Structure 1
Amino acid sequence: MAAKIVPVIMAGGKGTRLWPLSRAQAPKQFIQFIGEKTLFQNTLLRASDPELYEAPIVVTNEEFRFLVAEQARELGIKLAAVLLEPVARNTAAAVAAAATLAHELFDKDAIIQVLASDHEIVAGEAYFDCIRIARKAAANGSLVTFGITPTEPATGYGYIEIGKPLSSGAHEVKRFIEKPVREKAEEMIAAGGFYWNSGIFMFPVAELISELHEHAPDVLKAASKAVSKASRDLDFTRLDAEHFAKSPDISIDYALMEKTGKAAVVPSPFSWSDLGSWDAVWKTGSRDENGNLTTGEATLVNTKNSLVMSHGVHLAVQGLSDIAVIASEDAVYVGHLKDSQDVGKLVKLLAAHKPTAKLTQTHPTSYRPWGGYTSVLNGDRFQVKRIFVLPGKKLSLQKHHHRSEHWIVVKGTAEVTIGENVQMLRENESVYIPLGEVHRLANPGKIVLELIEVQTGSYLGEDDIIRLVDEFGRS
């Protein structure tokens, strides 16, 4: 019986080209673009068949750890490990660390599949046929990548030219090609035998470690030391910062795949997009008879071949073609779909100016391991928030030096601790927490607790918080 595959899901990226929905602290993999699941959750589901897969290893960072844990919990999917990168070091170090851990947690003959958490994939029969071919090739000692059948002369992807067929059904890699100019891309598609480089891999762990030792020893040494010196924090594994930072900042493609003599590629006809731009989202989604893809509240008149997405406001679009109109809670982007690749430049401009920098970092709604909050209104010495707490969760026991708080319950039941006093609040009831008083909020009920919080004081920043007891390891 063939060995099960260990999924290694890369979930630490901070994509900027899907702004204003994707932001540094809430990137695209954790956001619902189209449908009820996030891209990260869909990635977990694709690798959830227990006949084919082991529990996944997720590689992410400190900021996203609770998003990873909560979105996996929502699906009821148990994770083998969540590896926290202390610094960004591209994919080579992340893959090397995950492979080292997989070698410890699973069989020495383990096979890992490296998956990006922000790809849109139709996981039908064609997809799983490719997975099985890749597993067979990996079991034979190949380092396998997936080459997507191109549907257009795209210039945003690298390409792979396939070589001789292998007994597994995969092919040798003849060569990797950098992102081409359009004329070159058209020539390759016309010639045939060229595929998009998907960034999806299947590796036999033992051979991967051996090839890294030969071709990228600095990467392997830094990553393996970071794993051996790692510390446990709740359900997370923190890679040792000193050793991990010593790894070269390089992709697995450059560090290994373009150097190894064991590279193989599986020609893959399944539907795939890296959703790297609004243009890609428009192409991937289900469009109406006018070529429009619309989500959220929107009214379109005499508008064609456009992407209109709203999170929170009603958009009215009239007399336009080939555009993207994207509304988040606090910002709107309007631009030509053909210019989607340049949104990252716009984000850099916003980030460079103090009045707009926050728009690139966070959303008005922030998620925490216990639930989250939405900033409703900010003024001089006051702030209004909507707080939601998941059933059975509690915030840290805390106090503030510069603000008082008023809580009004609008839904559910709240257990409120103020000093030595514990009381229950129900809908339409309220409580006052004086400045400097130790307090805690918990949801003992079975439905989400919602309340309105009014803060008043001389300083209302999130860093005015002293955690005394915290079940999420933040005190």
Structure 2
Amino acid sequence: MLSPVITPVILSGGAGSRLWPLSTQSKPKQFHALVGTVTMFGQTLRRVAVDQAAQFGAPLVICGLSHLVQVTEELAREEIADATIVLEPKPRNTAPALAVAALIQAERDPEALMLVLPADHVIARPENLHKACLDACAAAIDGRIVTFAVTPTGPETGYGYIKSGHSLGPGVFAVEAFREKPDLATAATYLADGHYAWNAGIFFFKASTFLAELKAHAPEVLIAAREALVHSRREEGRIFLEETAFIQAPSISVDYAVMEPTDCAAVVPVDMGWNDVGSFLTLWDLAEKDADDNVSQGPIAMFDAQGCLARSEDVPVALIGVKDLVVIATAQGILVMHKDRAQDVRLAADAFRTKI
């Protein structure tokens, strides 16, 4: 079917602590060019640019107050002048953020469709996401909250899973169950089953549908979001949410607040080359490697090194006679670890949180 105008909602609130010291609270991973030469935020904006198979309107960006300058620079770089920027005074997870986004959209058109995208993901085949939007339009217009899930490529234990049920139309299915991150054996059974896909945190719905489900399942989130918006300060495409009201919202994800309890969930599995770039091991996997399987960026020299990832923003770094190491050097800190410990970077981020 032909696409109605879809409002992109870009969530830019994450800190990317598993990529410390490259990603910090002051400059999280979405503002870095981790894969390619364009920042992840910039790639997200290009994914929902005007000239696509699906028809996208002006984006609505949700971010923290401390990232206003960076978001403004990203929008200017992509020559986007009609975006709305919503400033959260404190982070309260994705459900309150999307409650505010839906309320703003409802002021304009409660039946308008909204596509929710994290700002820090890689999608190598965005044309497949655009096609999935077209496939899902009828279900979203009919009152479904659609989640775009990722076709699994292996028994991954780091993602949640969505099990698809009966068909709602070509490529669109009712959600039978949400499953939290499984162990390896359970993940293998999910793949063998054939009805499971990775939960990518990408959603598609009408503003009115989402607000109705919030009212039914997480009314305290909706009340706080509405109060924060009513008392917000608005100027030149920016909405500064009122802090006292907004922090009354429970800090809860949209998965727990709405997607798990709702009877309106639908899923579209999509093979779109998705990756959340959640660790340095993932970054090494995605990057182009030299003859010794090394990945380097910046003033790096390697001698008899194999399977390493090394990045430096300024200081010269040399790796000699080592294997499978990650070495990251920035003004915020230096990280040295074995690739097998990629999920433990949060230990360092937590240890130096007050210093970054």
TM-score of the two chains, using structure 1 as the length reference: 0.71
Q: Which residue does 1:287 correspond to in 2?
A: 289
Aligned residues: 353
Structure 1 residue 168 displacement after superposition: 4.6
Percent identity of equivalent pairs = 38
Q: Supply the AA of the counterpart residue of 1:45.
A: R
Q: Distance in 1 between matches of 2:238 and 2:277?
A: 28
Q: Distance in 2 between matches of 1:149 and 1:346?
A: 32
Question: Which residue of 205, 212, 225 maps to 2:207?
Answer: 205
Q: Which residue does 1:422 correspond to in 2?
A: none
Contact 2:30 2:39 in 1 (8 A): yes
Q: Which residue does 1:98 correspond to in 2?
A: 101
Structure 1 residue 128 displacement after superposition: 2.1
Aligned pairs for 1:240-279 (under 5 A) are 240-279=242-281
Structure 1 residue 316 displacement after superposition: 1.9
Contact 2:83 2:237 in 1 (8 A): no
Structure 1 residue 202 displacement after superposition: 0.6
Aligned pairs for 1:51-450 (under 5 A) are 52-105=55-108, 107-329=109-331, 331-351=333-353, 357-358=354-355, 361=356
Structure 1 residue 127 displacement after superposition: 2.7
CA RMSD of aligned residues (A): 1.7
- Which of the pair is proportionally richer in helix? 2
Q: Distance in 2 between matches of 1:49 and 1:314?
A: 42
Q: Distance in 1 between matches of 2:294 and 2:139?
A: 41
Structure 1 residue 287 displacement after superposition: 2.5
Q: Supply the AA of the counterpart residue of 1:94.
A: A
- Which of the pair is proportionally richer in strand? 1
Contact 1:72 1:79 in 2 (8 A): no
Structure 1 residue 330 displacement after superposition: 5.1
Q: Supply the AA of the counterpart residue of 2:74.
A: Q
Q: Supply the AA of the counterpart residue of 2:12.
A: A
Q: Distance in 2 between matches of 1:239 and 1:146?
A: 29
Q: Which residue does 1:22 correspond to in 2?
A: 23
Q: Distance in 2 between matches of 1:284 and 1:299?
A: 21
Q: Distance in 2 between matches of 1:165 and 1:316?
A: 55
1:5 is aligned to 2:6: yes
Q: Supply the AA of the counterpart residue of 2:117.
A: L
Q: Which residue does 1:354 correspond to in 2?
A: none
Structure 1 residue 173 displacement after superposition: 0.8
Secondary structure of 2:262's counterpart equals: coil
Cα distance per residue 1:42-87 (max 9 Å; x no partner): 1111111256100100001110011101111011012431001112
Contact 2:112 2:207 in 1 (8 A): yes
Moved more, 4-13 or 312-321: 312-321
Q: Which residue does 2:36 correspond to in 1?
A: 35
Q: Distance in 2 between matches of 1:114 and 1:125?
A: 16
Q: Distance in 2 between matches of 1:315 and 1:279?
A: 19
Secondary structure of 2:49's counterpart equals: coil
Q: Supply the AA of the counterpart residue of 1:251.
A: S
The structure showing larger relative contact order (alpha-carbon pairs under 8 Å, at least 6 residues apart) is 2
Q: Distance in 2 between matches of 1:276 and 1:41?
A: 18
